[in-house]
Amino acid sequence: MANEPWQQALQESLTAPEQLLDRFDFDPLPLKAVAERYPMRIPSYYLDLIQAVGDPIWRQCVPDLRELDETGLFDPLGEEDLSPTPAVIHRYPDRVIFLASGSCASYCRFCTRKRKVGCSALSMSFRELREGIDYIAATPQIKDVILSGGDPLLLPDSVLGDLLARIQAIPHVEIIRIGSRVPVTLPERITDKLCALLARFEPLYLNTHFNHPREITEQARQACGKLSRAGIPLGNQTVLLRGVNDDPQTMIALFRGLLKIRVKPYYLHQMDLACGTAHFRTPISAGLEILKALRGPVSGLATPHYVIDLPGGKGKVPLLPEYVKRRGEVLEIRTPAGELVEYPDCSLLS
Ligand SMILES: *Cc1c(COP(=O)(O)O)cnc(C)c1O
Ligand code: SF4
CATH architecture of 5-344: Alpha-Beta Barrel (3.20)
Please, what's the b/e burial string for 217-252 (b: 16 or more CB within 10 A of its CB; e: otherwise)? Answer: bebbbebbebbbebebebbbbbbbbbebbbebebbb
Q: Which of 282, 278, 284, 289 is nearest to 307 (CA)?
A: 284
Interatomic CA distance for residues 17 and 320, integer angstroms: 39
* Predicted confidence (pLDDT) per residue in 105-146, tens digit: 999 999 998 888 876 666 788 899 999 999 999 999 999 999
Looking at residue 350, its pLDDT comes to: 54
Secondary structure of residue 278 in the 3-state scheme: helix
* Predicted confidence (pLDDT) per residue in 188-231, tens digit: 999 999 999 999 999 999 999 999 999 999 999 999 999 999 99
Ligand nearest to C-alpha 88? 1
How far apart, in Å, do the first and last CA atoms of the chain sit?
A: 74
At 179, phi and psi to the nearest 5?
-105, 120
**Burial (Cβ within 10 Å: 0-12, 13-18, ≥19) of residue 343:** exposed
pTM of the model: 0.96
How many CA atoms are closer than 13 Å to the CA of 56, on its beta-carbon side?
18
Can the peptide bond before residue 179 be classed as cis, meaning omega within 30 degrees of 0? no
* Predicted confidence (pLDDT) per residue in 143-198, tens digit: 999 999 899 999 999 999 999 999 999 999 999 999 999 999 999 999 999 999 99
> Best substitution site from 77, 97, 112, 181 to test ligand 2's pocket, by max atoms within 8 Å of Cβ?
181
User: Which residues does a 6 A CB cutoff place in the pocket of ligand 1?
Assistant: 89, 91-92, 95, 97, 146, 316
Interatomic CA distance for residues 141 and 301, integer angstroms: 31
